Amino acid sequence: MTDAPMIPQDTTLTTDPVAASVLSALETDWARMNGRAELADPSRLDTALPYTFMLERTAPGATRMRVAGQALHGIAGMEPRGLSLTTFFEDRSRETVAELAEAAFTLPAIVGVSLVVTRRLIRKPARASLLLLPMTPLDGRSGRVLGALVPDGLTALRGVRFDLDRDSEVRCEPQILPLTGHPSAAQPRPSRMGRPQLRLVVDNG
């Protein structure tokens, strides 16, 4: 029997137990699929499904959503299919988000980052988490990325745009695909987001 892949489960993206449970369930299903897009079964995504999307790379640094869960329709305030991942973000965060997505596709790597919504008529900023999980290429070209955008408490956000939480750390874990029989290619290498521009530095040695 082949040992299950050693996929580190991240719990630092959010301190909210509900959102953390959804993110953990999605990553567990991704590991069970061994990162293979052709084996993806939406019914197995369970509570994560409304917050889940499938991303494809259209050019270096450019992405579009092929499918997106119902909660993402409300967050975007429009039909998200065909849109770039950066559509969900404020202008000042879009370049960094494009870099993070590029890392998920090209390393490939698990990428996770904490988000915040500040432009809302509420006293306390809303928080969310973005998780990107690379999928095994089907035809020798760039694969796809299974992702989730999960608000803390699964709050129903509508028509908002996110900023990166620059006091948090970025999760970036290079992977060997397919996952079966392989541990993560590297241990988590968090990068502080203290500057407007984030440079991902990954040590594969």
Q: Does residue 92 belong to any structural domain of this protein? A: yes
Spatial separation of the C-alpha atoms in residues 96 and 113, rounded to whole Å? 11
Q: Residue 86 belongs to what domain range? A: 17-186
| Residue 10 pLDDT > 50 | no
DSSP assignment of 54-68 equals EEEEEETTEEEEEEE
**C-alpha separations of 118 from 64, 108, 113, 164, 166 in Å:** 25, 31, 16, 11, 13
Q: Does residue 54 belong to any structural domain of this protein? A: yes
Domain count of the chain?
A: 1
Provide the mean pLDDT of the chain: 79
Instruction: Give burial (CB, 10 Å; 0-12/13-18/19+) of 205.
Output: exposed
- What sign does the dihedral 30-31-34-35 (CA atoms) show? positive
- The larger pLDDT score, comparing residue 180 to residue 51, is at 51
Instruction: Give burial (CB, 10 Å; 0-12/13-18/19+) of 55.
Output: buried
Q: What is the mean pLDDT of residues 41-67?
A: 85
The pLDDT of residue 188? 44
Q: Does residue 4 belong to any structural domain of this protein? A: no
Q: Does residue 124 belong to any structural domain of this protein? A: yes
The pLDDT of residue 101? 96
Q: Does residue 3 belong to any structural domain of this protein? A: no
Q: What is the CATH number of the domain that holds 84?
A: 3.30.450.20
Q: Does residue 7 belong to any structural domain of this protein? A: no
The pLDDT of residue 109? 94
pLDDT band at 138 (very low <50, low <70, confident <90, very high): low
Other residues' Cβ atoms within 10 Å of the Cβ of residue 96? 23
Q: Give the model confidence (pLDDT) of 60-97 as tens digits.
A: 999 999 999 999 999 999 999 999 999 999 999 999 99
pLDDT band at 32 (very low <50, low <70, confident <90, very high): confident
Q: What is the mean pLDDT of residues 30-49?
A: 70
Residue among 1, 2, 7 nearest 176 (CA):
7
Segment among 40-54, 88-102, 123-137 with least mean pLDDT: 40-54
| Residue 187 pLDDT > 80 | no
Q: Does residue 168 belong to any structural domain of this protein? A: yes
| Residue 163 pLDDT > 90 | yes
Helix (H) or strand (E) holding 23: helix 17-32
The pLDDT of residue 47? 81
Other residues' Cβ atoms within 10 Å of the Cβ of residue 75? 24
Q: Does residue 72 belong to any structural domain of this protein? A: yes
